[in-house]
Chain A
Amino acid sequence: MSGERWKAAALPVALLVALEIGARASGIQSDALAPPSAVAVALAEAFADGSIIGATRDTLASAFAGLLLGGAVGLALGIALGIFQPFDRLMEVTIEALRPIPSIALLPIALIALGFGYRMEIVIVAFACVWPILILSRAAVRSIEPRLIEVSRALKLSPGDRVRKIIVPAALPRIFLAFRLAAGIALIVAVTVEIAINPIGLGASIMTAQQALRPDLMLAYLVWIGLIGYALNAGLVVAQKHLFGPAALAGEAR
């Protein structure tokens, strides 16, 4: 095990050392690259003056608000489509037509309708998050053991109770998986919108650093964005395992 860990760390450590030595030995001033030590210093400074914390807050707030909004719409539609087969068939063409629109293409529409700021970013993130959650929760509801549905019929549960007491709990592990995947998408879309146009958050900060010809700060932001992406995914995987057991992760499509 420790041998495997060592092997896993070997490549990144070797790269960092090579970069550091290369940058120092060549002495070339680059707009794109900086020695890892300078990147670490820039990251520490950005934390010290609080700028990175504010940007992180903006990005995560937009991403999560979009995830909640899009997730709520996707979940409601997904459950409805999963339960009512005729509804699903009637909506098929509409969904097939809307789903392939790349979320980022909505950026100009959101821009003229809502202007710069949180709102337009949240709307775009929400649009991107609707689809995976809709598709996966629909599949989750479909795959519920038919016996459970029969039980709910036999108990004469009201439709509301049926959703609340049988369908959602039974489909919960896969719905959580859908939210985990969507959370990653939300972060990516939020950062992308900020990089493309929206002057808030981590995306805007990294663009500013690039334009200010501060490769150390730019790479510091890149590392930080990577860490957030990793931590978000790892945290949700742990939560998923904790809540639903390791079986919830098995058979997951990669």
Chain B
Amino acid sequence: MNPALLMWRAASFLVAAGFVGLWQLVANLKLVSPVFLPGPDRAWASLVRGFTSGDLLAKTIGTLEHMAYGWLLASIVGIALGAMIGSSKAMRSYVAPSLEFLRPLPVSAIIPVAIALFGLTQGMALFVIAFGAIWPMLLATVHGFAAVEPRLYEVARSLHMSRLAVIFKIALPSASPDIISGMRLSLTVALILAVVCEILAGLDGLGYWVLLSARAFRSADLFAGVILLGAIGYVTAQAMSMVEQRLLRWRTSGH
């Protein structure tokens, strides 16, 4: 990073710090009731307390687990299903329209059905998160498989590659940019649904924790939880970007 950019970045941090200061000022002057708005000092104190003596770490891990299991399940099923549908023209013309029709469905509407099927359990959360997170990956994989350069299939034919080799050596890597952007979108969906499921089913995690804090009017704890959820969103998105840059180096390199 060159010095000018570094300066801007530093100035940008200062601006953010200014907003935090403003927040502190508003809280100190009690412009908003402290019941609703704790100052950043109290939220920070709650974070520190939560991590040193309390079980905030366990809650964070709980939410991460809900998210990760659902997202991984969705990734495996979504990519496999997408590859199956996308690599066959017949499957595409039968199945793809139904998928397109279901795509705009607000996925959270499946929650009551999941509750009816599984009760207020971990299984319900896993189902809901996986169901919600599967769509971006499924559709991206179908699209990516359908968009493979036909010339590459001819190369595969002239080399007599096996069907499995064609999928793993040609179609999957070719579709990987689409698939990875689907996986990134799914991460956000998984986090939101993890929080909703925790709230509804009282599962151990940050979602339920912020709800309990709100009910008890422990606003500092509440804000600490929201900050942590934001951090989870940020860190997972950054990690995904790093994986993406790593895997898709061939795309950005050169001209």
Contact = CB atoms under 8 A, between A and B. Distances in A.
Q: Do any beta carbons of A and B sit within 8 angstroms of each other in the complex?
A: yes
Interface of A: 4, 7-12, 31-32, 89-94, 96-98, 100-109, 111-113, 184, 187-188, 191-192, 195-197, 202-203, 206-207, 209-210, 215, 218-219, 221-222, 225-226, 229-230, 232-233, 253-254
Counting chain B CB atoms within 10 Å of each CB, which of A4, A100, A106, A191 scores highest?
A100
Interface stretch (B54-62, B68-76, B191-199): B191-199
Contacts of B16: 93-94, 97
B109 A203 contact: yes
A108 B196 CA distance: 11
Interface string B204-220: 00110011011001010
Contact of B195 (A102, A203, A221, A232): A102
B153 interface: no
Contacts of A254: 139-140, 143, 178
Counting chain B CB atoms within 10 Å of each CB, which of A9, A89, A108, A210 scores highest?
A108
A187 B105 CA distance: 9
A90 B233 contact: no
A230 B211 CA distance: 32
18 contacts: A7-B93, A32-B117, A90-B12, A93-B12, A93-B13, A100-B232, A105-B210, A105-B226, A105-B229, A109-B223, A195-B109, A195-B196, A196-B199, A210-B113, A210-B116, A218-B113, A222-B112, A254-B139
Contacts, number: 165
A106 B206 CA distance: 12
A225 B106 contact: yes
Interface stretch (B96-104, B155-163, B168-176, B247-255): B96-104
A8 B12 contact: no
A226 B206 CA distance: 29
A218 B225 contact: no
A184 B103 CA distance: 10
Contacts of A32: 113, 116-117
Contact of A108 (B9, B101, B200, B214): B214
Interface residues of B, number: 62
A39 to B, nearest CB: 12
B15 A91 contact: yes
Contacts of B25: none
B108 A192 contact: yes
A105 B230 contact: yes
Counting chain A CB atoms within 10 Å of each CB, which of B113, B226, B230 scores highest?
B113
A196 B196 contact: yes
Contacts of A7: 93-94, 97
B222 interface: yes
A229 B113 contact: no
B106 A102 contact: no
A84 B182 CA distance: 32
A218 B104 contact: no
A119 B196 CA distance: 19
B104 A230 contact: yes
Given A11-B98, A206-B109, A192 B192 contact: yes
B116 to A, nearest CB: 4
Contact of A184 (B104, B113, B214, B233): B104
Contact of A188 (B35, B106, B207): B106
Interface in B125-169: 139-140, 143
B192 A103 contact: yes
B93 A90 contact: no
B121 to A, nearest CB: 14
Contact of B233 (A91, A101, A230): A101
Contacts of A112: 35-36, 214, 217, 219, 222
B111 A195 contact: yes
A100 B109 CA distance: 23
Contacts of B93: 4, 7-8
A31 B87 CA distance: 37
Given A89-B12, A102-B188, A188 B107 contact: yes
A191 to B, nearest CB: 4
B109 A225 contact: yes
